[in-house]
């Protein structure tokens, strides 16, 4: 005799389990059965939350995921498109398995309103009701801190390429049409921003291309921070060893103004004339977070309870990924790690039980410094009961040196994490 899951749930809810274990009445499939979760955003965090709520509730919780893009494009490793190591196609995945294998209702639409009282999400083409809502909108850009820059200019002339996709392709094309002896300028926003080592990795990928095709050219990094914010020694070594004389690093260089037609970036100290201008604007939680009312007053990010990722500002709304206000790196792996703790907590809370009180999550982030070599930063983050926040556990850190082995591991990381999120 073999009970399938639904029969078993019916059976267990019917008596024996409840009678024998009265403290455990809220097994999944109890109160949580048939509950509705809506996930907004199908990036690393949102897609993982959707998949894991289905998986860990054994399919008893209904999950609808709303994503405005038809396909998933990985931001991690998208800098390698600039060197020619990968194409955007290599980083693009479908949402099919979330639908067909995991039973997630994937809706290709955009959120226009959220009513936290009525617990509804209004889309351009419909409305959804939720018991719990997961907001995973990633980042949006703060345009008005840079005169002359806006969403349109970033599409046409000065791509940020900080969300992988069309702008990544545009930036690669601009690099290809740059003259030998030209300047490729990258501006780095003040922390916190998505993917702290990303701009420095990008400088490597661009320099790798230039070294082969346009060796008289230069990369200028205009960093709003007062120093390289991640893997500093490793990046310095890579720049010196692999691309000597090609990468100029300017600290405390906040871009205040751009001239799109002339490709000029202006900081407090200088005007930098470039052939390709890649301004990465300052960031804040994605716009949906504001619609949900989960952004901290006057702030840019969303405060949460780290046991459940429930917003401290709105009941029944959880926030995961880059939008979260935390001393956690804004990375793809971190978003998936948060998503799983959030998924587990949502199932627990829907069932009327307390979430895991002692979460520990990990982050591994590789940076490709050429088309073969990489280095990483790895950390475990643990819940600190007194501080009520996630703190870095001892023992984490960066690679001793860049290696080809890590370059290979970075590829395996990409393959495995994309499967974990979407397959």
Partner 1 sequence: MKQIRVRAIVIACMVGCVAVPQAMAEVSNHARNLSGSCAACHGTDGHSVNGTPVLAGMDRKLFIAQMKAFKSGERSATVMHQHAKGYSDEEFELMADYFAAQKR
Q: List interacting residues with partner 1 (CB under 8 A).
A: 1-3, 8, 11-12, 16-17, 20-21, 23-24, 27-28, 52, 56, 333, 336-337, 340-341, 344, 348, 351, 353, 356, 358-364, 376, 378-382, 393-397, 399, 403, 405-406, 408-409, 411-413, 415-417, 419-420, 423
Nearer to partner 1, 297 or 358 (CB): 358
Could you tell me the smallest distance in angstroms from the CB atom of residue 344 to partner 1?
5
52 vs 193, beta carbon nearer partner 1: 52
Nearer to partner 1, 34 or 397 (CB): 397
Measured from the CB atom, the residue of 258 and 344 that comes closer to partner 1 is 344
HEC string for the chain? CCCCHHHHHHHHHHCHHHHHCHHHCCCCCCCCCCCEEEEECCCHHHHHHHHHHHHHCCCCCEEEEEECCCCEECCCCCCHHHHCCCCHHHHEECCHHHHHCCCCEEEECCEEEEECCCCEEEECCEEEECCEEEECCCEEECHHHCECCCHHHHHHCCCCCCCCCHHHHHHHHHHHCCCCCCEEEEEECCCCCCCCCHHHHHHHHHHHHHHHHCCCCEEEEEECCCCCCCCHHHHHHHHHHHCCCCEEEECCCCCCEEECCCCEEECCCCEEECCEEEECCCEEECHHHHHHCCCCCCCCCECEECCCCEECCCCCEEECHHHECCCCCCCHHHHHHHHHHHHHHHHHHHCCCCCCCCCEEEEEEEEECCCCCEEEEEEEEEEECCCCEEEECCCCEECCCCEHHHHHHHHHHHHHHHHHHHC
Least distance from partner 1 to the Cβ atom of residue 340, Å: 4
Residue closer to partner 1 (CB basis): 259 or 403: 403
Nearer to partner 1, 188 or 341 (CB): 341
CB of 232 to partner 1, least distance (A): 17
Shortest CB 46 distance to partner 1, Å:
16
Residue among 166 and 419 whose Cβ is closer to partner 1: 419
Smallest gap from residue 12 Cβ to partner 1 (A): 6
CB of 345: closest distance to partner 1 in angstroms? 9
What is the smallest separation between the CB atom of 77 and partner 1, expressed in angstroms?
13
């Amino acid at each position: 005799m073999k009970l399938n899951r639904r029969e078993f749930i019916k059976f267990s809810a019917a008596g024996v389990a409840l009678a024998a274990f009265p403290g455990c009445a809220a097994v999944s499939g109890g109160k949580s059965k048939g509950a509705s979760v809506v996930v907004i955003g199908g990036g690393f965090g949102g897609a993982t939350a959707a998949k894991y709520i289905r998986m860990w509730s054994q399919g008893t919780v209904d999950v609808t995921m709303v994503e405005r893009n038809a396909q998933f494009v990985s931001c991690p490793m998208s800098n390698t498109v600039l060197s020619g190591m990968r194409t955007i196609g290599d980083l693009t995945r479908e949402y099919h398995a979330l639908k067909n294998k995991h039973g997630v209702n994937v809706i290709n639409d955009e959120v226009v309103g959220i009513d936290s009282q009525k617990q509804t999400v209004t889309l351009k083409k419909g409305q959804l009701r939720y018991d719990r809502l997961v907001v995973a909108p990633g980042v949006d850009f703060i345009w008005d801190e840079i005169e002359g820059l806006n969403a349109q200019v970033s599409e046409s002339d000065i791509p940020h390429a900080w969300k992988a996709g069309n702008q990544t392709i545009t930036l690669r094309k601009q690099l290809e049409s740059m003259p030998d002896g030209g300047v490729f300028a990258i501006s780095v926003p003040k922390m916190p921003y998505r993917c702290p080592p990303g701009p420095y990795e990008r400088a490597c990928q661009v320099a790798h291309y230039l070294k082969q095709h346009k060796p008289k050219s230069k990369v200028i990094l205009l960093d709003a921070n007062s120093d390289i914010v991640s893997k500093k020694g490793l990046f310095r070594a890579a720049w010196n060893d692999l691309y000597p004389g090609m990468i100029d690093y300017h600290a405390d260089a906040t871009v205040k103004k751009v001239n799109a037609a002339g490709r000029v970036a202006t900081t407090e100290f200088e005007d930098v004339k470039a052939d390709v201008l890649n301004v990465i604007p300052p960031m804040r939680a994605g716009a949906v977070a504001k619609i949900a009312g989960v952004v901290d007053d006057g702030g840019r990010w969303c405060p949460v309870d780290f046991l459940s990722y429930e917003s401290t500002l709105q009941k029944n709304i959880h926030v995961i990924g880059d939008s979260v206000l935390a001393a956690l790196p804004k990375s793809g792996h971190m978003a998936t790690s948060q998503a799983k703790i959030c998924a587990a907590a949502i199932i627990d809370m829907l069932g009327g039980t307390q979430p895991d009180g002692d979460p520990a999550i990990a982050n591994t982030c590789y940076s490709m410094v050429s088309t073969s070599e990489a280095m990483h930063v790895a950390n475990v983050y643990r819940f600190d009961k007194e501080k009520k926040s996630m703190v870095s556990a001892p023992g984490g850190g960066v690679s001793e040196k860049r290696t080809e082995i890590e370059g290979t591991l970075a590829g395996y990381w990409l393959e495995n994490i994309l499967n974990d999120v979407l397959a």
